[in-house]
Structure 1
Amino acid sequence: MAIKFKSKVRVKDRISDLPDAILCHILSFIPTKYAVRTSTLSTRWKKVWPSVPCLDFCPKDFDFYESFLMFVNRLLLYRGSSDIQKFRLRCLKDDRQFPLIDGWICTAIMRHVVELDLDVPGGSRIFELPRSLFICRTLRVLKLMSSFAFDTPKSWCLPSLKVLVVTVDRPDNDPMRELLPHCPAIEDLTIKGSVGQHVISNFHISALQLKTLTIILETREDDHFPVKNACTLIIRAPKLENLDIDQRVLSLYLLDTAKSFAKPLFIFLT
């Protein structure tokens, strides 16, 4: 009787055979914690994660906040000197860690960061952005998902910045008047904020290259009469094409635009 032996088919690991650049690109789409874990797969992967250009840090990926802080600190310390394309950071409300967070952001800036996405809620005080951020020539996207304080240098400019998202929780403070004149290439601006009862807020938006403007303003939860809110927005944007407004406050818009809108104006009053 003839005995037939089935040959064992060896499954080839095609992913590990990909070039480092492609592997780094793939790992850029997952949280950094899990990208680092790939180093346990083989010696081939140990040299891949330190070159991943996109870093995404969120405390929700960790059981303890202290573990999260230690992870980010060690990773940036031992990652090496390769450039950082995108740096996304989410933190808990704990102003005791502000010096540590300041160092992380400065590290990203030194690594020629292109996109910076920050959510650093303060406790008894507001996080102050490092001064080096305001002279970062590679920065193209800046998203400030919580309120920030800033003390800019006497002479500063963000020549490459095209996308800016700003969260404003202090309606008596107009950061646009200070920021926009130093961002000559800005094309896409989003302003998110909340205003309080009986508070009059003014925003001056002047950007010659601005094409898309999104404004989201709401009333704080402890306010019961949003109609008594008042907000004035003076917009000078000759190239503005898209304007989306979502608000719960009474506002006056003064528009100085030379172009007609590329799509209908959307205004949502809730």
Structure 2
Amino acid sequence: MIQVLRPARFTELTGEDEDIPRPPLSQTRTAQQSRRRKQKKQLERRWRHSAVVAALTPAQAAAVATTHADATSALDLLTFLSRERSHEYSPDTFATLALRLVEARRCPADVGRARVHMIRACRTPLEMTRAMDDLDTLARRGPRMDLMAYGALLVQLNTLGMIDVTRARQLRQASTVHPPILVFLATGLVGSQVRWGSGAPLPQGIDLFFLSHPILSTLASSDRLLPRSPAHARHLFDGMPRRKKRQSAPPVSIADRIGTLPDSLLHHVLSFLPVQAVVRTCVLARRWRHLWRSTTSLRIVGLDDNYYVDVEELRKFVDHFLILRERTDLDLVEIKFNEFCEEDQPYVKTWVRFALMCKVRRLTFHVRGSQYLYLDPHLVSRHLRTLDLDGVGLPETFLDFGSCPVLEDLKISHCIINACRILSHSLKHLSIYCCHNEFNCRIHVSTPCLVSLKLDHFIGRTPLLENMALLESADVYLSDYCKDVCLNYDSGVLCGSNNNACQNCVPIEDDCSRECVLLGGISNAKYLKLLPGSKTFVFTRDLKHCPTFIKLKTLLLNEYWCEAPDLDPLACILKNSPVLEKLTLQLFSEGPNHKVEIKGRYSSMERPSAISEHLNIVEVKCSVVDERILKVLKFLSALNICFIF
């Protein structure tokens, strides 16, 4: 049975009394370290002559250390007993002390010592696996691993035969180490070799790890950075000029009001700057020195927002930035560039994975080059809410957002869509602009929770919209460049009603052409803007199975609905809109400034009308009043609509 000592008795073990006061925080770091060494020597002298310490078992010492208020003194005690009494402790004991040191914001050197003892205490692969999880937690909450801890990790992994098995986790550990330490480790391991490429192998397992790291693989191919021998390594930086002493700047009397703001406000200010400018703020003042490492927004763009740069200009800087940045959550990530080559694609995809790993909530990815960059086939994130894509290729499985349960806003522009379905149960806002579908089929849009839809200049077969019960607004513009155009179009008459129908107008069973392609999905909307090209036949075909727009209140149409000889398309959609309140006809005029605007409203008369009695506003906008406009006005007047000229 383990006997746990009372906290009051621990004073006798650690010597914590008024004779050895703790150094105040106002002292310099050198003075603190000197005082700390003197205090440690005094404690060890007491422990050597203490009968209580001599009688402690390893279990009792571990229990006392983990319950004491001062984690630094507890770590010193366990270190002393391990050295003087050959005690052995479990890795969990040192992990607990390291976490307490991080939470207390004590000296990073103490955290490093706790890490080293925790790593060396691992005796089995299972203990090492748990210890690496604790190392991940410490790296996220406190200082990153130092040289001693990382060296102890590699040695212990090699001793336990876990180098090859845990290669991926070592790479994750490597991302929490300063690049100078990685350079030192690489040159230290290779110092006794002639060259990496000379055939002299590194220790088994460690060569696989270092050659797989992008920074160290670059060093391996460099004749200037990599020393050929230990003697050469000592003179590696001899050619550098000596640093000149700078005169201290005169004291500034003006208070730094911006520096006194909380980190959240400063991070908001930095979110408007490119990542290069964010890093430059570290020279402003001591307050800004490390602020860039925890910023909540990353804008990986050129310094000039109006000019897109190539990936080659961004790659080196961004790679080093991501290694040095802390693993804090991200609110916004913008990645915008121009041209890229085949070698740049793995780096760019790594940037996207880094953003998803940091729980990004808004992701923007724009490519303005001459070729499309194809993203990974799967997008997995439980935190992503907004996704903006431009100039990328989308694989078939990418648009299945089942692994993004909180995605609400999706914007796709100038993209190639190699998919047959867009699926999301959480999406609320969808915008598809000037996209191209390479498949000869209709893309099924299955988004039951969609609130707003914008479909503009889609190239290919028009997407088929499934039921959207919560839809409030829809903006649909179909140009004559889509594949759903009549090849024999003539003055508002489509050849689909004739015996000699063109190839496009013939209904095809496989692409659901006999069903409503657009109108069925947007029938629950309150605000509709339908502006198809004059040669498109999708809406004309949908009107044969026209649904009832039971919630529609505002409707904007163009001349497409008024070109038929009998104006049947306009009459059909008005008769199936029982609660319509505002109708706007934008005829033969693109706007936004129209030369002629004619206003009217519904007037109740003795004869019944087939349109909505709530129609209070009717607007006809055009450039000139000609026979086509007069024909529309006469048709609307027959439906009890009075105009004011």
TM-score, normalised via structure 1 length: 0.77
Residues 35 and 232 (structure 1), Cα distance of their counterparts in 2 relative to 1, 3 Å cut: closer
More helix by share: 2
Q: For 2:518, give the aligned amino acid.
A: Y
Q: Is 1:116 matched up with 2:366?
A: no
Cα deviation code 1:29-61 (max 9, x no counterpart): 222222221111012101211111111111364
- SS of residue paired to 1:244: strand
Q: Is 1:25 matched up with 2:265?
A: no
Cross-structure match for 2:165: none
Q: Is 1:94 matched up with 2:325?
A: no
CA contact (8 A) 1:174 1:204 kept: no
Question: Out of 408, 411, 421, which is 1:165 matched to?
Answer: 411
Root-mean-square deviation (Å):
3.2
CA contact (8 A) 1:121 1:147 kept: no
Q: 1: distance between equivalents of 2:525 and 2:310?
A: 51
Alignment size in residue pairs: 243
Residues 215 and 129 (structure 1), Cα distance of their counterparts in 2 relative to 1, 3 Å cut: same
Q: 1: distance between equivalents of 2:525 and 2:466?
A: 14
Q: For 1:84, give the aligned amino acid.
A: L
CA contact (8 A) 1:158 1:184 kept: no
Cross-structure match for 1:47: 290
Deviation at 1:161, TM superposition (A): 0.3
- SS of residue paired to 1:148: strand
CA contact (8 A) 2:333 2:364 kept: yes
Q: 2: distance between equivalents of 1:208 and 1:130?
A: 23
CA contact (8 A) 1:168 1:192 kept: yes
Cross-structure match for 2:520: 255
Q: 1: distance between equivalents of 2:354 and 2:373?
A: 20
- SS of residue paired to 1:136: coil
Q: Is 1:140 matched up with 2:371?
A: no
Q: For 1:28, give the aligned amino acid.
A: S
Residues 126 and 17 (structure 1), Cα distance of their counterparts in 2 relative to 1, 3 Å cut: closer
Q: For 2:434, give the aligned amino acid.
A: G
Residues 189 and 246 (structure 1), Cα distance of their counterparts in 2 relative to 1, 3 Å cut: same
CA contact (8 A) 1:143 1:164 kept: yes
Residues 64 and 157 (structure 1), Cα distance of their counterparts in 2 relative to 1, 3 Å cut: closer
- SS of residue paired to 2:352: helix
Deviation at 1:237, TM superposition (A): 0.9
Question: Out of 246, 254, 257, which is 1:14 matched to?
Answer: 257
Cross-structure match for 1:3: none
Q: 2: distance between equivalents of 1:243 and 1:93?
A: 34
Q: For 2:356, give the aligned amino acid.
A: I
Cross-structure match for 2:428: 187
Cross-structure match for 1:210: 450
Q: 1: distance between equivalents of 2:448 and 2:317?
A: 42
Q: 2: distance between equivalents of 1:35 and 1:56?
A: 9
Deviation at 1:102, TM superposition (A): 1.2
Q: 1: distance between equivalents of 2:401 and 2:297?
A: 30
Q: For 1:265, give the aligned amino acid.
A: K
Q: For 1:238, give the aligned amino acid.
A: A
CA contact (8 A) 1:245 1:268 kept: yes
Deviation at 1:242, TM superposition (A): 0.8
More strand by share: 1
Q: 1: distance between equivalents of 2:361 and 2:519?
A: 33
Deviation at 1:146, TM superposition (A): 1.6
Deviation at 1:189, TM superposition (A): 0.4
Cross-structure match for 1:267: 531
Q: Is 1:74 matched up with 2:315?
A: no
Deviation at 1:218, TM superposition (A): 5.5
Q: 2: distance between equivalents of 1:245 and 1:208?
A: 18
Cross-structure match for 1:57: 300
Q: 2: distance between equivalents of 1:162 and 1:254?
A: 23
CA contact (8 A) 2:453 2:474 kept: yes
Q: For 2:519, give the aligned amino acid.
A: L
Cα deviation code 1:172-213 (max 9, x no counterpart): x445x1x41xx21100001122459xx966232121110000
Q: 2: distance between equivalents of 1:41 and 1:106?
A: 31
- SS of residue paired to 2:518: strand
Q: Where does the alignment leave 5 or more consecutive residues of structure 2 unmatched?
A: 1-251, 485-516, 534-589, 591-645
Q: Is 1:107 matched up with 2:350?
A: no
Q: 2: distance between equivalents of 1:18 and 1:257?
A: 48
Q: 1: distance between equivalents of 2:340 and 2:530?
A: 37
- SS of residue paired to 1:253: coil
Question: Out of 18, 36, 50, which is 2:279 matched to?
Answer: 36
- SS of residue paired to 1:69: helix
- SS of residue paired to 1:202: coil
Does 1 or 2 have the higher relative contact order (CA < 8 Å, sep 6+)? 1
Cα deviation code 1:210-231 (max 9, x no counterpart): 0000112166xxxxxxxxx753
